[in-house]
Structure formats: structure tokens, C-alpha cells
Structure 1
Amino acid sequence: MDSVPPKVIVDIQKFTVMGISRRVHFASEANPETNMYIRTFKEYFEKKISETIPNRGIPGRTYCVYYDFKDVQDKSKFTLQILVGELVTKVDQIPEGLATFDVEDATYACFKGGPGSIPEAARDTWKKLYLIKLDEWGYKRSYKTEFELYREGQNDIGNMEVELHIGVQQIQN
């Protein structure tokens, strides 16, 4: 049985990620044949996309950013955008096939997981979110930006550690 993760709330300043971006339909993710998350990670690592990113801030540190959440309450319609890439120090050019996203200043609940293969290590870490009650921490999920962080030196999607950051807002009394 998984134990309840410790309360870790952090404020993170704005940063920009460049990489490959895809639209994810939540209902399709359970099927390995249609799982866009897995396909995007495989493409990113197999094609060595990181090597095409200019102005890399921390080479080898990979982010999977979740944003543009739609129909969150209806799992059959729920979609979001993901971007797998790296932090960049500036954006003066965007190579063909790549995209950028600005992760704005925000407060995050953080969870650590792995080591394990992707997507299992990430999925197991996401499950930790459901072991807690954010409202008991004085927060609610913002559904603005969330991200997974894979520290530099991890190039084998069969054996990775993950840090999950869930955007939260303080509950106003």
C-alpha cells in the first residue's frame, strides 16, 4: 500500500520549455496503441529532439508540461496539451516541428516517484496525488499548468525518476 506523500508546496518562477507538443485525449490514454503520452516520449528520446533545441538551459533535464486543460470534469471529453522538452534561456528561434510554452509563476504541490519505466513511473507518481486531500492542505488544483521533471542524466525511458508538480491555488476562507 502506498503511503501518503509528505506535504511539499513550492513557489516556482516563470520558465520556458521548448520541445514537441501534442494534444492528448484522456479517454485514449488507457490504450497503448493510442496513448499519445507514451508516443511523444518515445519520439522525443528516439529522435534525440533535445539536441535540436537551441539555448538549452540545463541540457538533459527533461520536462513534460501539461496545459490548456479542457472539459476536466468529463473524462470522456477531457483533453490537454503536453509538451516534452527542455528549459531554454531564451527563444530567438523555434526549429520546425518544435513549440514553446511559458510556465508562469505559480504555486505547486510536489511528489517524487520512480525509478521505473515511462509511463509506469509517472503513472505511479500521479497516483500519489489521489492519496491526499489537497483541501486539507489548504489548496485546490488550479488546472493551469502541471509538469513532470526528469533530472539530467536520465536517457533511458525504461528507468527514470520523476518529480511531479501540480499547480495549486490557496483556498480562500
Structure 2
Amino acid sequence: MSQFIQTKKIARLDPIRFIGKPVVTSNEAEMKGEGVIPSLWQSFNKHSIIEKIPNKKNPNILAIYTNYESDEAGSYTFAIGAEVTTINQVPTGMKSFFIRECPYVVFTTRKGSIPEIVVEAWQYIWEWSKTNKRAFLTDFEVYDERCKNPENSQVDIYISVIGDFPLF
């Protein structure tokens, strides 16, 4: 295991209601520099999208990966937004998602610059995925109070897995 990535087991989370701004992309497009994730983040921050999401459950920002075409090689929906208490009001240009209950493994990045630590963690997760069974339901990143300084942040990444999973 990387000395910079911590893993821990989360048995199950309660279902999560989410509202956010979505795009469809693929890891191939993102790695080739043809992706849309950086521009979505830029737009999200520039236009204070988080402030436009009603009924937020907490101040955290979530970035979700869902509607996987297949696995890490296929397309998926990426959305940035927040956990909400109800999805009765979805602002124009946003979409609601329901993150269902399932087992997750949580990867915690080292502290550092957000783009750097998140890419580093995903590279580790893709390696880890070669010998572990991901569910490819919904995976998500949590940007909480540890992310106030984008140059010295720490992010949790929740990966949906299949079946019972051993503790690390």
C-alpha cells in the first residue's frame, strides 16, 4: 500500500440523496487531456454552484462517479454537488442522483494540492482495483473542512465494492 494513501473499511452507508452539475466523460478522455472534469470544477467554483443547491444536509462538496457504462474503461457520469435532505427542488442545469446503500472502501489521500492528491489517489485505486472487486455503482469524493486550503487538503474517496470486504 502507498505510504500516502490510507484505506479503511466502511461496512455500509445510508442511502444518499445528491444534487449536482453533471457531465459524461471517460478516464481515457480525462487522461488524454480531452476531459471535462477540470472545466466542470472551474465552472462550479466560479459560479458558486454549491450556494445554488437547496436543502443541503451539510457543507461538504461531493464529486460523484456514477452510471458506469462498464468499468474504469467505459464512460460514466461525473457530477459535483452536495448531499441533500430532499430532491424536491432541482435547479436548472443540475440533476438529482440517489446513491444507494452498499459496501464501500474508503481511501484517504495524503495532504497536499487537491488536483495532485486526487489524481495520485485514483492512480492507486486503479492499481488496487486489479486485485479487488469494485461494484461500479457510485463512487464519490468528499471535500469537507479539511479542504479549506486547496494547497493543503485531504480528501476521502469512497469506492463501491462487491460483497463482504475484509478489513485492512
- TM bracket (short chain): 0.7 to 0.9
Give the Cα separation in 2 of the matches to 1:167 and 1:94: 25
Deviation digits for residues 55-108 of structure 1 (CA, Å, limit 9, x no counterpart):
11102x0101111111437x3xx2100110011111221111111111001110
How far is 1:47 from its partner?
A: 0.9
In the alignment, which residue of structure 2 is the partner of 1:42?
42
Q: Which runs of 5+ in 2 are unaligned?
A: none
Runs of 4+ in structure 1 displaced over 2 angstroms?
A: 1-10, 114-119, 127-135, 152-160
Q: Which of residues 109, 114, 127 is equivalent to 2:105?
A: 109
- Report what 2:53 is aligned to: 53
Query: How many residue pairs were aligned?
Result: 164
Give the superposition deviation at 1:118.
3.4
Aligned counterpart, 1:10: 11
Larger strand percent: 1
Structure 1 segments unaligned to the other structure (5+ residues): none
Q: How far apart, in 2, do the equivalents of 1:22 and 1:94 lie?
A: 16
- Matched AA of 2:63: C
Q: SS of the residue aligned with 2:12? A: strand
What's the RMSD between the two structures over aligned residues? 2.6
Superposition TM-score, scaled by structure 1 size: 0.82
Identical columns (%): 23
Quick one: structure 1 residues 149 and 92, their matched pair in 2 at CA, closer, same or farther if it must change by over 3 Å?
same
Aligned ranges for residues 93-172 of structure 1 at < 5 Å? 93-130=89-126, 132=128, 140-152=133-145, 154-155=147-148, 157-170=150-163
Equivalent position of 1:65 in the other structure: 64
